[in-house]
Amino acid sequence: MMDAMGIFDMVLALALPWLGWRLLASPDLFRAMVLFISLGLLMALTWVRLQAPDVALAEAAIGAGLTGALFLSALRRLERLSEAERRLAFAGKREEEDEIPPERHRRAKPVAYGLALLLLAVFVLLLAWSLAQTPAGGGLGPAVGEQLGQSGVRSEVTAVLLNFRGYDTLLEVMVLFLAALGVWSLTRVRLPLQDEEPGPVLATLVRLLAPLMIMVAGYLVWIGGSRAGGAFQGGAVLAAAGVLLLLANVTVVRQIPAALLRWGLALGPLLFLLTAVVCVAAGGNLLEYPPQRAGAWILLIESASAVSIGVTLAALYAGGRPPEPPAQDRGGEQGPGRDADADAGGRQ
Amino acid sequence: MNTLLFYDFSGLALLAIGLHGLIRSSHPLRKILAANLMTSGVFLIMISGARGTGQTMIDPVPHAMVLTGIVVSVSTTAVALVLVCLVQETTNRALLWQKRKREKWGRTDG
Amino acid sequence: MGLLHNLGTVCILLGIPFFISGTIGLLRFPDIYTRLHALTKADNVGLGFVVLGLSLQADGWHTVARLLLIWLLVLIASSASCHLVARAALRKKIEPWSRP
Amino acid sequence: MPGNCSPVSLPLATRLTRLLARLVLYAVLWSVLAGLDGRSWIIGLPAVSAAACCSLFFAPQRLCPLSPLGLLRFIPFFLNLSFWGGCDVMRRALSPVMPLNPGLVRYQVSLPEAPQQVLLLNCISLLPGTISADFSGQCLTIHTIDRDMPVWSTVHLLERRVAAVFGLRLAGGAP
């Protein structure tokens, strides 16, 4: 047992921190981000080794793919900005001395370093303490296994996510929604995200892949009931389709009405919340489904959340609220604020 | 049992490196990267613990929590990145450019 | 069944050298374009062998169809991304390495 | 470009046929993915219809009919060439002297429609020794790993085969 797979485990476990170190130490930010994406893929491999296929799927799609895309687009945006700034400086404007002086920087270093070490030591102690506190042979695995029959699904992780600890997932969907609200209230997206023409290959690729991605997202949501998969993975695939459409500079994307986007964003959280309230009203606890219908409820919530997660993640990638429609006048501008307020009010 | 300890230590090391980077690095994008490393480390510790506790049965609760955590971390990352871009836009300070210049001669931890 | 299974294993093992040589090419070749050659072609053939081997070991048409779908998708994605990377590099005026 | 042209101007019957064909295609795909479990269609039906609508929305306005015979003859041709492509790269990567002599080659494409061109471009990247590096107008830039290889004739052969997939005959000839 300890032969081939053990060596593989060891190499993998060593590669992760090494890659993390290289990533933070590399002077070039672009290289750091590429290393970050490869670290995410190695993490996905690690999840498979640790028998967590659900997490592996989510990590590969969200942790490596989508986060990497977010970082790369942010870097691109910053570089474009600083490029403009540099041109401005060369045009004759004297640049101000607003850099932190190196002395102060250096003086701050030992303090920061000491603080980091202290925090780390505290954390290690806490971790060791909590590991020692864990009861032997414990864990919630047997308990979940016992109750799995009445959860309505056959996959343990989905049962925990949407039935036993459904309120966690409810809150988490809300966090995602809040993040989208935050980004939307901060800036307005500037399309196109790419400067240059996408070219025929990318256009055809998008045309081919976008419907297939919708199919795969549906499949992931369906298979989540019995095996690895679920709303997050399906939503991530939908978001990837959205990112592809944004990158390919498809005109249709710009013509999607903002109201539709807003409803897509709110669909999952609203339905989830509604279910929770209905469950309470029917005399149960929060998100305590009727046992016979649990499977149907979970499937409904999962599909709605998958759509919402997809729209939300794609909106986060776009990095702002939808651009103003060119033809209409200011009537559309009033809309987003009012709708967002209504949603926020509905949540409380 | 041995292999589990590998992953525990690996997660701890990732966490430490992330914390180190979060405090030491000067560029905001690098700080966000470091925070992401820290979350990865925490996830690794949690999942490796989930396999370790039961001899026969996997504990699915940490798996579900990590799934949730991945989505939460991507949303915080997205908001942070937009904030960084906004800071640069509003202060009109060429952060990247100046920091890069300093990093050329000021880096000691690479 | 036994024969097919063994044949499948042989095919999977045949695929491995392609992956390895693709990776070696990625490390050894001098510039971005030649590295793209190594990555796209060798990995595609390697994956083809692995898919062939797994299809021989599969227990129904259903799995075979899914495996073929995976291979087709990877084929399309890898060739398209190869073209896109090369295109972006050319437009950035990265000169191809040539033998001095 | 997808989406630049909306399929509104096509006659209704054509649009319905195209929608139906896509529905059938994606339904088959769903049954490949999810198996023959009847309950899977709860998710499958919306997914299939959404995918079909999405595909129809992005579909090019002009039809590019495939020729089944040409497609059948194309598959073994392509598999053979891409296998040799892999072997060629393996030889170059593993050989100690690394026999590389890369360079750029230009080629004038005579295929008329975008889907055909894209098929050609994608296949070139899997052929021995060539990747398609840029394409604008009708001019294709190919990066070849070895300038001594017969790039032009290989690509020309491939172009004729691709044309056959779409039931076209190209006027062959010297450059």
Give the model confidence (pLDDT) of D108-152 as tens digits.
Answer: 988 888 888 899 999 999 888 899 988 888 899 999 988 888 888
Q: What is the H or E stretch that residue D106 is in?
A: strand D103-108
Of A249 and C95, more confident: C95
Confidence band of D13 (pLDDT split at 50, 70, 90):
confident
Nearest residue on chain A to C92, alpha-carbon basis = A196
Q: Please indicate, yes or no, whether residues D46 and D87 belong to a single structural domain of this protein.
A: no
What interface predicted TM-score (ipTM) does this complex get? 0.86
Q: Is residue B105's pLDDT more than 70? A: no
Work out the average pLDDT over A127-131.
Answer: 73
Query: Which pLDDT score is estimated for A348?
Result: 28
Domains contained in chain D, number: 2
Q: What percent of chain A shows pLDDT beyond 90?
A: 34
Nearest to A30 by CA among B103, B29, B38, C86: B29
- Distance, in Å, from the CA atom of A42 to the CA atom of A171, rounded to the nearest integer, reads 29
Contact yes or no for B92/A85 (Cβ under 8 A): yes
Q: Is residue A101's pLDDT more than 50? A: no
Query: Which pLDDT score is estimated for B40?
Result: 95
Work out the average pLDDT over D2-9.
Answer: 46
Q: Where are the alpha helices (DSSP H) in chain D?
A: 12-34, 41-58, 68-94, 114-124, 151-165
CATH topology classification for B2-106: Helix Hairpins (1.10.287)
Query: Where is average pLDDT lowest: B87-101, C65-79, D17-31?
Result: B87-101
Of C37, C45, C91, the CB nearest to D131: C37
User: If phi over 0 gives left and psi between -120 and 50 gives alpha, with beta otherwise, what is residue A199?
Assistant: left
A262-266: long-range contacts, CB 8 A cutoff, minimum separation 24: A262/A336, A262/A339, A262/A340, A262/A343, A264/A307, A264/A308, A264/A311, A265/A177, A265/A180, A265/A308, A265/A311, A265/A312, A265/A315, A266/A177, A266/A308, A266/A343
Confidence band of A157 (pLDDT split at 50, 70, 90):
confident
Question: Which residues of chain D have a CB within 8 Å of the CB of A248?
Answer: 2
- pLDDT tens by residue, A47-81: 998 889 999 999 999 989 999 999 999 988 888 77
Work out the average pLDDT over A307-319.
Answer: 92
Those residues with Cβ within 8 angstroms of residue A102's Cβ, 6 or more apart along the chain or in another chain = B102, B106
Confidence band of B32 (pLDDT split at 50, 70, 90):
very high
Instruction: Name the average pLDDT for chain C.
Output: 90
Those residues with Cβ within 8 angstroms of residue C1's Cβ, 6 or more apart along the chain or in another chain = none
Domains of chain C, by residue range, sit at: 2-91
Work out the average pLDDT over A281-292.
Answer: 79
Rg, C-alpha atoms of chain B: 18
Q: Please indicate, yes or no, whether residues D32 and D92 belong to a single structural domain of this protein.
A: no
Place of tokens 């097919």: C4
- Distance, in Å, from the CA atom of D103 to the CA atom of D115, rounded to the nearest integer, reads 27
Q: Please indicate, yes or no, whether residues D89 and D148 belong to a single structural domain of this protein.
A: yes
Of A210, A217, A223, the CB nearest to D58: A210
Q: Please indicate, yes or no, whether residues D153 and D75 belong to a single structural domain of this protein.
A: yes
Any idea what DSSP says for residue B107? -
Q: Give C5 to chain A, closest Cα distance, Å.
A: 23
Domains of chain A, by residue range, sit at: 1-89, 154-348
Q: Please indicate, yes or no, whether residues D134 and D160 belong to a single structural domain of this protein.
A: yes
Q: Do B13 and A115 touch (CB under 8 A)?
A: no
DSSP string, A265-322: HHHHHHHHHHHHHHHHHTTS-TT---GGGHHHHHHHHHHHHHHHHHHHHHHHHHTSBP
Report if residue D72 sits inside a domain: yes
Confidence band of D90 (pLDDT split at 50, 70, 90):
very high
Q: Which two tokens stand for residue D58?
A: 């992005």
Nearest residue on chain A to D29, alpha-carbon basis = A215
By residue count, chain A amounts to 348
CB-based contact (8 Å) between A81 and chain B? yes
Q: Is residue B104's pLDDT more than 80? A: no
Amino acid residing at A330: R
Nearest to D111 by CA among D102, D122, D101: D122
Q: Do C80 and A201 touch (CB under 8 A)?
A: yes
CB-based contact (8 Å) between A208 and chain C? yes
Query: Which pLDDT score is estimated for A86?
Result: 63
- Distance, in Å, from the CA atom of A54 to the CA atom of A61, rounded to the nearest integer, reads 11
Confidence band of C15 (pLDDT split at 50, 70, 90):
very high
Highest mean pLDDT among A72-76, A331-335, D3-7: A72-76
Q: Is residue A17's pLDDT more than 90? A: yes
Q: Is residue A249's pLDDT more than 70? A: yes
Query: Where is average pLDDT lowest: A276-280, B106-110, D161-165?
Result: B106-110
- Distance, in Å, from the CA atom of B68 to the CA atom of B39, rounded to the nearest integer, reads 12
Q: What is the dihedral of CA D145, C97, C89, A23, to 10 degrees?
A: 110
Of D88, D102, D128, the CB nearest to C34: D102
Work out the average pLDDT over A1-5.
Answer: 69
- pLDDT tens by residue, A184-203: 998 888 776 666 777 888 88
Contact yes or no for C18/D92 (Cβ under 8 A): no
Q: Do C33 and D129 touch (CB under 8 A)?
A: no
Of B108 and B36, more confident: B36
Confidence band of A39 (pLDDT split at 50, 70, 90):
very high
Nearest to B51 by CA among B62, B38, B41: B62
Query: Where is average pLDDT lowest: A163-167, A306-310, A315-319?
Result: A163-167
Query: Which pLDDT score is estimated for A162?
Result: 85
Give the residue numbers spanning the domain of D38: 7-58
Q: Please indicate, yes or no, whether residues D73 and D134 belong to a single structural domain of this protein.
A: yes
Domains of chain B, by residue range, sit at: 2-106
By residue count, chain C amounts to 100
Q: Please indicate, yes or no, whether residues D90 and D146 belong to a single structural domain of this protein.
A: yes
- pLDDT tens by residue, B44-58: 988 887 775 555 577
